[in-house]
Chain A
Amino acid sequence: MTLMQKFLGAAAALALSAGAAVAEPALIFDLGGKFDKSFNEAAFQGAKRWADETGGSFREIELQSEAQREQALRRFAEAGSNPIIMTGFAFGNVLGEVAPDYPDTKFAIIDMVVDQPNVRSVVFNENEGSYLVGMLAAMASKTGTVGFIGGMDIPLIRKFACGYVEGVKAVNPDATVIQNMTGTTPAAWNDPVKGSELTKAQISQGADVVYAAAGGTGVGVLQTAADEGILSVGVDSNQNYMHPGKVLTSMMKRVDNAVYDAMKAGTDIETGINVMGVGNGGIDYAIDEHNESLITPEMKAKVDEAKAKIASGELTVHDYMSDNTCPVE
């Protein structure tokens, strides 16, 4: 046995024992990138909170291409990471294939349902949160016209749009909602220039509150809205701070809580479908020092009333993804 082989053998043994000794959780970020100021970043915040509180550590990877999905999943699973958490609907198919190969490993997927015994599927009722910010937008609007700018045209984003329109109409049945999608390819998540142009086009059609559910494109939407002196609504994370006094509110999807819970549960993570909605604090609208002057007590009272009704089940907001149609326009 040559010296080289000895070294390699020793390194392999070390790696194996390291993998077996600690079951670190792993977190896989989707193509939007870890610091997208939104969805993936919220996941990272949740993981960081867990690490800070428990002193534990977690492994992470930011995907650079579609081809890495399966590779990343298998590598973490083989290295003994448990549970493995991934953000984004796009993991659905891959996880469906990979999960049965590692029955002892627990997986958690956010924004998608994967029907496997060792998978926890966390889904959010974005329609409920969009309904709430839609109500606020309609109440803040002076022109009676509000806008919606989506990222890539996928059912999930239509779900945002549909809930938003319902919320707007609940306050002002005569309101007009202008809806635009940025594009049909993943580039639509990172095109702030087009986001700006869409915002300008909506302003010229009378919109004075614009809701952006568009990832990095939303940065351009919020910027243009602030420049042109209208209000905007942020998404996923609390984006109120980006333009204080110009962002009406943000539709918060507590991805951080979902990741935190999953990591805290560790290997004992409960599998199955986990719905996060207004009722269990998974979805909310943001109110902080940056936007409190924009939201009057009457507005807040009205929205909180709707929030309570949604939580109690008295009011249901239509879910676009349940039947791929929206009852309102």
Chain B
Amino acid sequence: MDFMTLLQVLESTIRLATPLLLACLAGLYSERAGIFDIGLEGKMLVAAFFSAAVAYQTGSVWLGLLAGIASSMALAAIHGLASITFRGNQLISGVAINFLAAGMTVLVAQDWFQQGGRTPSLIGGARFEPITLPFTEALADVPVLGPIYGGLISSHTILVYVAFAAVPLTWWILYRTRFGLRLRAVGENPESVDTAGVSVVGLRYAAVAIAGLLCGIAGAYLATALQAGFVKDMTAGRGFIALAALIFAKWRPWYALWATLLFGLLQAISIRFQNIPVGDFVIPVQFMEALPYILTIIILAGFVGKAIPPRAGGEPYVKER
């Protein structure tokens, strides 16, 4: 593999890892606060649709992004209402959200655009364009560093930088702020938070809302940055891969970055090389595609360290009377 090929695979890795990373961080906030969220997929899907639809109607990708975030947060609010206020089963609520999103997006798209559950193609200002960072020109002629800076670091859309910036921000919020401490506590031992006089319900709603925000950005990235429009079911299981990455990352922000980059890399490799010969043995492409799930199972089985979920995860909080 020569240098340029390596660079192209890594570039592809970043593009593919970005939606996973955003969704994974969304799940991290929610699950750290004790709310399981398997509705990441559904939230991304509605955000993808509404961002594309609004961007098409208004011609502004920023309004599209806002609409995507708003729709995703609306679903997050439903999840919060069902699992926090009404203390329903969080997994069932998540599944319902996925179904709701899959059906609703196609239905609304058909009603608005009559293109069979699609939005028309976005053009011009209705899409996120790659941005060229400063010094790209100046560094272009420098060997090795030039292509790395120009291809790998520069020339992505703004949302990619947002996603990567969200990792240290999440770490800082969770481990260096009072809000973060309480958020983690509410997922481990909500009684103690309640005893301290802090609202468990309020904290959990905040976490679910942040999850909605991040899923909204992820969905908008799929539809308006990677693609030029919405296509039915376009998330194609990325919400579930993000969940796998979350377990793989043991619910920690920096690990989440490495896990999603690893999963993105595996996808990028499977896209670039269909079959990889290793000596006499050929690794089929299907194996590379299944590898994220295999790795997650290995982690869950306890072979590589231990993945311990937040202790109060999945349990609605009931104040003792």
Chain A interface (Cβ < 8 Å from any Cβ of B): 33-37, 41, 179-181, 183-184, 187, 190-194, 196-198, 200-201, 204, 216, 219-220, 223, 227, 242-243
Alpha-carbon distance A187/B289, docked complex (angstroms): 13
| Apart from A193-B16, A197-B267, A216-B232, 8 more pairs, CB < 8 Å | A33-B106, A35-B115, A35-B116, A37-B115, A37-B118, A181-B285, A193-B19, A197-B12
State whether A198 touches B271 (Cβ < 8 A): yes
A282 smallest CB distance to B (angstroms)? 23
State whether B271 touches A219 (Cβ < 8 A): no
> Would A204 and B5 be within 8 Å (CB), given that A191-B234, A193-B226, A216-B231 are in contact?
yes
For chain B residues 254-307, which have a beta carbon within 8 Å of chain A? 267-268, 271-272, 274, 285-286, 289
State whether A192 touches B110 (Cβ < 8 A): no
Alpha-carbon distance A198/B285, docked complex (angstroms): 13
State whether A187 touches B271 (Cβ < 8 A): no
Q: Mark B214-238, 1 if CB is under 8 A from A, else 0.
A: 0000000010001111011110110
State whether A33 touches B116 (Cβ < 8 A): yes
State whether B12 touches A201 (Cβ < 8 A): yes
A260 smallest CB distance to B (angstroms)? 20
Q: Does B117 contact A (CB under 8 A)?
A: yes
By a CB distance below 8 angstroms, the chain A residues around B286 are 184
The 12 sampled A-B contact pairs (Cβ below 8 Å) are A35-B110, A179-B274, A180-B271, A191-B236, A192-B227, A193-B222, A194-B236, A197-B16, A197-B268, A201-B272, A220-B227, A223-B121
Closest to B286 in A: A184
Q: Does B79 contact A (CB under 8 A)?
A: no
State whether B228 touches A36 (Cβ < 8 A): no
Task: Enumerate the 4 nearest inter-chain pairs by beta-carbon distance, A residue then B residue, closest first.
Answer: A35-B116, A191-B236, A190-B233, A204-B8
B145 smallest CB distance to A (angstroms)? 20
By a CB distance below 8 angstroms, the chain B residues around A181 are 274, 285
Closest to A223 in B: B228
* Main DSSP-derived SS at the A contact region: helix
Alpha-carbon distance A36/B116, docked complex (angstroms): 6
Alpha-carbon distance A204/B151, docked complex (angstroms): 13
Q: Does B156 contact A (CB under 8 A)?
A: no
State whether B227 touches A193 (Cβ < 8 A): yes
Q: Count of B residues near A, CB < 8 Å?
A: 33
Closest to B285 in A: A181
**Central interface residue in B4, B5, B121, by most chain A CB within 10 Å:** B121
Alpha-carbon distance A311/B84, docked complex (angstroms): 67
Closest to B9 in A: A201
Which among A36, A183, A223 is the interface contact of B227 at CB below 8 angstroms? A223
Closest to B238 in A: A193
> Would A187 and B233 be within 8 Å (CB), given that A193-B222, A197-B12, A223-B121 are in contact?
yes
Which among B121, B226, B271 is the interface contact of A201 at CB below 8 angstroms? B271
Q: Does B15 contact A (CB under 8 A)?
A: yes
By a CB distance below 8 angstroms, the chain B residues around A191 are 234, 236
By a CB distance below 8 angstroms, the chain B residues around A192 are 227, 231, 234
State whether B222 touches A33 (Cβ < 8 A): no
State whether A180 touches B12 (Cβ < 8 A): no
A235 smallest CB distance to B (angstroms)? 15
Closest to B5 in A: A204
By a CB distance below 8 angstroms, the chain B residues around A34 are 116
Closest to B232 in A: A190
By a CB distance below 8 angstroms, the chain B residues around A41 are 116
Closest to A36 in B: B116
State whether A35 touches B121 (Cβ < 8 A): no
Closest to A203 in B: B8
State whether B110 touches A193 (Cβ < 8 A): no
Closest to A188 in B: B236
Closest to A191 in B: B236
Which among A35, A197, A200, A243 is the interface contact of B118 at CB below 8 angstroms? A35
Closest to B113 in A: A35
By a CB distance below 8 angstroms, the chain B residues around A194 are 236, 267, 271
By a CB distance below 8 angstroms, the chain B residues around A204 are 4-5, 8
By a CB distance below 8 angstroms, the chain A residues around B121 are 223, 242-243
State whether A190 touches B234 (Cβ < 8 A): yes
Alpha-carbon distance A113/B285, docked complex (angstroms): 30
